[in-house]
């Protein structure tokens, strides 16, 4: 079948995510037949360099031999089992490994199956923790320009008008403090202090995306903000939720972004890279203190009764263990330092272009923000199409082109990604 035939079949029935379906009249869907390492290939033998790790999940590229082998092994024994009342080895192993990799106070793990659910779980637990102690704290605080997912609770703590405003009437109450990625760090901290002070005793948690506000345009800020925020949360007795769904697993140069701030959050949410793009899985990690607030006789009514059908899926956990194996055996964090350096050096020349506003980078994320053009022009789609015709897949967010390549990119592939993009940006009029 050709690309076109498959697209026509698709469009008869499928409503795609994050899409205005009418756009596909002009901007064809691309049916993908296979993927290997850094490349994906369509049904007409066009290959595309996947510079955004397929929405930030395929951290080791596509069809990794080691992960494939581990899935096959797991398939011989068990694919899935109910996770209430039952358990399995891949989950037990994974829990222990994640606890060992994260700050010591994070000793407990709740499994779910996507990032938004992990956020919902952390918000629910934070609220119920205080409820179980006889307090009602119905408010949540997040940062301006934040993104935490699309389910109602996750959307409520997000501040991305585009995805959220339509639903404002039906969302839980969240407050947004100034973000350090758009304001001076101390000003942002003071604003957080103001919000917490004005709502003292009513806020259960503050939720942030450490170091990079990804969906909000790859805006970046320094670890020192997180260190200061930890102290402010302690001062007001509210929980700090670190949403590392996008930045966890090596993206910012350390295994987890919070390491750079040298703090422990009360909740740590992980997903995306956790299975290298193979299976939906997420986890929420938290402290013994939080765990103990739910631990009692059933009739006391303090249980946390959240559940998802695919919670702790066995294959997903086996894949996550394979991902952690690769981090160890291939010394990924160290290898990424060399790749980040190459990206940094090679992207400097974007700064010389008149239409570039800023180039920013944290580890394996690099963003090139263009100056504003005519607001009716959908420059992101133009750039996407132009790059695609040259065999490079990027998916700019508004005016911001960004790279989030899989960690398997070779130097040659990194060069191609940057050179092709440079040519395009240079030629934009």
Residues near ligand PLP (CB under 6 A) = 114-116, 119, 147-149, 209, 214-215, 243, 245-246, 271-272
- Smallest gap from Cβ 98 to ligand PLP, in A, equals 17
The residue whose two tokens read 């398997």 is 408
Cβ nearer to ligand PLP, comparing 279 with 332:
279
DSSP assigned state of 218: S
Token pair belonging to 407 = 């960690």
Q: DSSP string of 92-121?
A: HHHHHHHHHHS-TTEEEEEEESSHHHHHHH
Q: Residue 393: how many CA atoms within 13 Å on its side-chain side?
A: 21
**192: helix, strand or coil:** helix
Cβ nearer to ligand PLP, comparing 362 with 416:
362
Cβ nearer to ligand PLP, comparing 188 with 207:
207
Token pair belonging to 148 = 């935490």
**71: helix, strand or coil:** helix
Which residue's Cβ has the minimum distance to ligand PLP? 115
For helices 89-101 and 314-329, angle between their N-to-C axes, nearest 10 degrees: 40
- Smallest gap from Cβ 115 to ligand PLP, in A, equals 2
Tell how far CA 96 is from the center of its chain. 22
Contact 36, 63 (CB under 8 A): yes
The residue whose two tokens read 């963003």 is 367
Give the whole-angstrom CA distance, residue 49 versus residue 40: 7
- Smallest gap from Cβ 142 to ligand PLP, in A, equals 11
- Smallest gap from Cβ 153 to ligand PLP, in A, equals 11
Cβ nearer to ligand PLP, comparing 245 with 318:
245
Cβ nearer to ligand PLP, comparing 114 with 400:
114
**186: helix, strand or coil:** helix
Cβ nearer to ligand PLP, comparing 211 with 293:
211
- Smallest gap from Cβ 118 to ligand PLP, in A, equals 7
Cβ nearer to ligand PLP, comparing 238 with 241:
241
Q: Residue 185: how many CA atoms within 13 Å on its side-chain side?
A: 11
- Smallest gap from Cβ 316 to ligand PLP, in A, equals 13
- Smallest gap from Cβ 119 to ligand PLP, in A, equals 6
């Amino acid at each position: 079948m050709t690309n076109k035939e498959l697209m026509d079949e698709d469009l008869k029935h499928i409503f795609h995510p994050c899409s205005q379906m009418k756009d596909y009249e002009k901007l064809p869907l691309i049916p993908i037949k296979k993927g290997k390492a850094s490349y994906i290939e369509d049904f007409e033998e066009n290959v595309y360099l996947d510079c955004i790790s397929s929405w930030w999940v395929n951290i080791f590229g596509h069809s990794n031999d080691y992960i494939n082998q581990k899935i096959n092994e797991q398939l011989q024994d068990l694919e899935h089992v109910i996770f209430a009342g039952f358990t399995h080895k891949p989950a037990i192993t994974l829990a222990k490994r994640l606890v060992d990799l994260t700050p010591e106070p994070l000793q407990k793990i709740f499994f779910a199956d996507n990032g938004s659910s992990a956020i919902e779980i952390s918000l629910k637990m934070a609220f119920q923790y205080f409820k179980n102690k006889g307090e009602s704290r119905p408010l949540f605080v997040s940062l301006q320009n934040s993104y935490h997912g699309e389910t109602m609770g996750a959307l409520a703590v997000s501040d991305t008008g585009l995805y959220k405003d339509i639903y404002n009437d039906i969302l839980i109450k969240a407050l947004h403090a100034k973000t350090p990625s758009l304001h001076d760090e101390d000003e942002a901290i003071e604003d957080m202090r103001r919000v917490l002070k004005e709502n003292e005793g009513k806020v259960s948690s503050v939720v942030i995306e450490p170091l990079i506000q990804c969906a909000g345009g790859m805006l970046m800020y320094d670890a020192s903000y997180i260190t200061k925020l930890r102290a402010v949360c302690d001062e007001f007795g509210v929980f700090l939720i670190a949403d590392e769904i996008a930045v966890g697993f090596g993206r910012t140069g350390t295994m987890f972004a919070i390491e750079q701030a040298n703090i422990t959050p009360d909740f740590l949410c992980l997903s995306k890279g956790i299975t290298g793009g193979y299976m939906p899985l997420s986890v929420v990690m938290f402290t013994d203190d939080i765990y103990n607030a739910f631990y009692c006789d059933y009739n006391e009514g303090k249980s946390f009764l959240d559940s998802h059908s695919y919670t702790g899926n066995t294959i997903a956990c086996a894949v996550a263990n394979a991902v952690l194996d690769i981090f160890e055996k291939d010394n990924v964090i160290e290898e990424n330092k060399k790749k980040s350096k190459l990206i940094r050096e090679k992207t400097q020349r974007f700064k010389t272009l008149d239409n570039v506003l800023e180039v920013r980078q944290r580890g394996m994320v690099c963003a090139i923000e263009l100056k504003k053009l005519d607001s009716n022009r959908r420059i992101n789609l133009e750039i996407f199409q132009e790059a695609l015709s040259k065999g490079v897949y990027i998916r700019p967010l508004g005016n911001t082109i960004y790279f989030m390549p899989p960690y398997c990119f070779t130097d040659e592939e990194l060069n191609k990604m940057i050179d092709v993009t440079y040519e395009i940006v240079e030629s934009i009029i």
